[in-house]
Structure 1
Amino acid sequence: MMLSKKTLQLKNQSISYIEEGSSSDPAVLLIHGVPESSMLWKHLIPEIASQGFRSIAPDLPGFGQSDRFPYGSTWEKYVAFISDFMEALSLEKVHLVVHDWGGMIGLRWACEFPEKVESLIISDTCLVPGYRWHPLARKWRTPELGERVVEAMANKEAWMTNMKKEIPSVDEDILEDFFTIFEKEETRNVILELYRSANLELVEHYQNLTQIKKPVTILWGENDPYIPTDFAYKTRDEQFPHATIEIIPNTGHFIHVEAPEQVIPFVNAHYRSVLKLLK
């Protein structure tokens, strides 16, 4: 199924997003990470929509085809973006799906608005103390070194080659969309600004997530080199004791595009359980 993107104007920014399903159906909001785009959810969006949900996946500002924030691209601004985007689409409550930085953004938003979260699917991310940045993140967080690293990543041929080694089964159009963040210096800097804005104060509210008693499914790549599976269990134990954990065997960080055939059954099971609760 081919997915096309829509655009809306939000605070004088053009925001690109994918939407499938009826506007009268319950909304599922899917938030991608770094360096990704809404195309992370290419294989999931049609499946979720086919179960009777309105699937909505924005390109976060600066990613995909969305304009970057006119000023610093900080963690706080991305958290606020969730509320602004929802308001623009008249979404009161959502079923939240998050991955990577999308989890740090989306779960941090959920700390402030737990009553707006109808269910959660959490993948390869964390908002619990104790996480140590992976080596590439540490480079991005380092002034001057980070700039050199993202500039080197703007070599499209080399970047594509490396990503295809990491995710051999990924569709070409997904990687093409992911790469757009590296095409211009102003968007490459979005990555640096976001990583450098991270602070412990934004993690301190993580216990607010225990207020969310709705269905939670935690999906993780068995061999994630960036965020180990330990954090799947920490997320459950410290925030969502009622959550179901599914570890996807022989996969890395980008499970939704690496092994969609393994991920989709768990996503479908999650929304079947949600529908049962709605009856």
Structure 2
Amino acid sequence: MEILRTPAERFDAIPDYPFAENWFEVDLGDGLTARQHYLDEGAKDAPPVLLFHGEPSWSFLYRKMIPILVDAGFRVLAPDLIGFGKSDKPDDQSFYTYARHVDWLKQWRNAIEPRPAALFCQDWGGLLGLRMVAHDPDLFTCVVASNTFLPVGGKPSEAFAAWRHFAKTSPEFAIGPLLDRATATPRTAEEIAAYDAPFPTEAYKAGARAFPQLVPAEDGMDGVEDNKEAWKTLSAYDKPFLTLFGEDDPVTKGAEKHLIERVAGAAGQPHTTLSTCGHFCQEDRPVELAQGVIDTAHAAGFLA
């Protein structure tokens, strides 16, 4: 297996992404390490908020939310998951596992910002982030979840099954056009290119192809029992927990009900289904999402 590093010049023309690079060395296991990229904006002593992206995006997805959150008084931290964005990319799909992704992200979080933090999570950012909330609830002051879930087997929806099949079998896995199709508002050619930038060739897309296969959406899959165990703690999480889902997302539509009904801290929160909002909600409704984080942090007494 080779650990690939996207050439830096691939990111030279990224629009509306003026953020400084930051790096962390992750222990991948099996004697391997990888360089992880992350954004770190705002005062270092400000209340931290973690922004976790999903599949197959990267921290570019948060470029519209970050300035709003910094202006509100947050320290904003947005990592690129291993296999995505500017982070290094193991080229073997079988090397990626749910448990490893949780461990890699925990390493980053424990080293970079171990203080209690607010969390915004979407897509796989939720599968990872909500598992982390369940493991260490005292490290999270509040949560805003969008277009995500914490699955425990069963039967996948037709939309998700189709997506999983496409990611596994499509001869060309075109990331930028995929992001464009999964938003309710059109992306510019420059934005589409920005989502393609991390992946110069198919070899760089091992993580992007692997992620849909790792969702424990069917009984017996790896991760099902771990998520069942996580739900025991996540259900008892009693700090403010808000859902803001896009009404135009066919993959996660309706999944917010499980979070609202099962997480203690979701009771009484102003949960909203956002119109003109697809799966990659950060592109379609960044202002509303950022305001949701701000309001939830205020409700938690975390943001002055």
TM-score, structure 2 length as denominator? Answer: 0.78
- Within-5 A mapping of 1:134-149: 134-135=157-158, 137-138=160-161, 141=164, 146-149=167-170
> Could you say which residue in structure 1 is the equivalent of 2:280?
254
Question: Is 1:188 the counterpart of 2:209 in the alignment?
Answer: no
Question: Is 1:82 the counterpart of 2:105 in the alignment?
Answer: yes
Q: Give the total of aligned pairs.
A: 270
Structure 1: how far apart are the matches of 2:164 and 2:142? 32
2:85 to 51, 60, 64: 64
Question: Is 1:179 the counterpart of 2:196 in the alignment?
Answer: yes
What do the CA deviations read for 1:37-59 (whole angstroms, capped 9, x no partner)? Answer: 01111111111121211100001
- Report the RMSD for the aligned CA atoms in angstroms: 2.6
Identical pairs, percent: 23
What do the CA deviations read for 1:52-78 (whole angstroms, capped 9, x no partner)? Answer: 111000010010110125761111111
Secondary structure of 1:24's counterpart equals: coil
- Name stretches of at least 5 consecutive residues in structure 1 with no aligned partner: none
Structure 2: how far apart are the matches of 1:134 and 1:187? 28
What do the CA deviations read for 1:167-215 (whole angstroms, capped 9, x no partner)? Answer: 3343555433332454333332213333333332232122311232211
> Could you say which residue in structure 2 is the equivalent of 1:204?
228
Q: 1:163 to 1:107 in 2, by over 3 A?
A: closer
**2:47 touches 2:302 (CA, 8 Å); kept in 1?**
no
Which residue type is aligned with residue 150 of structure 2? L
Secondary structure of 1:76's counterpart equals: helix
> Could you say which residue in structure 2 is the equivalent of 1:215?
240
Secondary structure of 1:153's counterpart equals: coil
Structure 2: how far apart are the matches of 1:165 and 1:191? 16
> Could you say which residue in structure 2 is the equivalent of 1:10?
26
1:52 to 69, 73, 77: 73
What do the CA deviations read for 1:81-119 (whole angstroms, capped 9, x no partner)? Answer: 221001221423221110011101111122211121111
Which residue type is aligned with residue 209 of structure 2? L
**2:90 touches 2:206 (CA, 8 Å); kept in 1?**
no
> Could you say which residue in structure 1 is the equivalent of 2:180?
164
> Could you say which residue in structure 2 is the equivalent of 1:104?
127
> Could you say which residue in structure 1 is the equivalent of 2:156?
133
Q: 1:59 to 1:177 in 2, by over 3 A?
A: farther
Q: Which moved more, 1:56-65 or 1:73-82?
A: 73-82
Q: 1:131 to 1:225 in 2, by over 3 A?
A: farther
Structure 2: how far apart are the matches of 1:136 and 1:128? 15
Structure 1: how far apart are the matches of 2:188 and 2:136? 35
Q: 1:93 to 1:52 in 2, by over 3 A?
A: same
**2:247 touches 2:277 (CA, 8 Å); kept in 1?**
yes
Q: 1:134 to 1:186 in 2, by over 3 A?
A: farther
Structure 1: how far apart are the matches of 2:173 and 2:18? 27
> Could you say which residue in structure 2 is the equivalent of 1:40?
61
Structure 2: how far apart are the matches of 1:136 and 1:182? 25
Structure 1: how far apart are the matches of 2:102 and 2:72? 28
Q: 1:261 to 1:170 in 2, by over 3 A?
A: farther
TM-score, structure 1 length as denominator? Answer: 0.85
Q: Which moved more, 1:103-112 or 1:244-253?
A: 244-253
Structure 2: how far apart are the matches of 1:136 and 1:278? 38
Structure 1: how far apart are the matches of 2:154 and 2:277? 20
Structure 2: how far apart are the matches of 1:131 and 1:45? 36
Q: 1:238 to 1:147 in 2, by over 3 A?
A: closer
